[in-house]
A and B are shown apart, each in its own frame.
Chain A
């Protein structure tokens, strides 16, 4: 079966711009969670969606937002980009949630803010 697909794979943006990243989960998976990975902070939880509802949110500013569509595809948006937002953004899909079932990660979107 097809894995988790994240688009685009690479992105270069300028400070102050906004960006939208997309994640297509594995068919049948209703949970999508997002993570930010940087060399300094490691992997940090951003938020998790289940059946179009945000169930949890990590400790990130309001510039980071997301949504999930009825087909379980998810997008995350970062507004007013800062240099520190440069990171690998990963999404993971799972059947019911990432805690007690296997989460499948995409290859990520590498965002560079200049």
Chain B
């Protein structure tokens, strides 16, 4: 069972780049790495998913080293609206379960 470890909280200022690193030492060969964002009293929202190397979309980048034991979510130029909890997940391919960790609470200040 691949678990994830990520910082409990992070602070940033508007316009800065934020990098949140997640550790998943027991990731299995077929597991994907996915990041979700959650605002209070709402369901999580998909941000980005990757298997290895680097993935980029319109809102974020995901960096995954060759050993895949960690990953880093990069949010360029954050704004106040990016204040949320960010979850790093390892999807278990063989069980089709999404295992949520404790999440990182990102606070963006003006």
A residues near B (Cβ < 8 Å) are 4, 31, 33, 35, 42-45, 48, 50, 55-56, 58, 88, 90, 92, 97-100, 102-108, 110
Contacts and interface: CB of A to CB of B under 8 A. Distances in A.
A45 B98 contact: yes
Contacts of B46: 102-104
Contacts of A43: 44, 87, 100
A34 to B, nearest CB: 11
Contacts of B29: none
Contacts of B100: 35, 42-45
A58 B43 CA distance: 19
A105 B91 contact: no
Interface of B: 31-32, 41-46, 49, 87, 91-93, 95-103
24 contacts: A4-B43, A35-B98, A42-B101, A42-B102, A43-B87, A44-B100, A45-B97, A45-B99, A45-B100, A50-B96, A56-B96, A92-B43, A92-B98, A99-B91, A99-B92, A99-B93, A99-B97, A99-B98, A100-B93, A102-B46, A107-B42, A107-B43, A108-B43, A110-B41
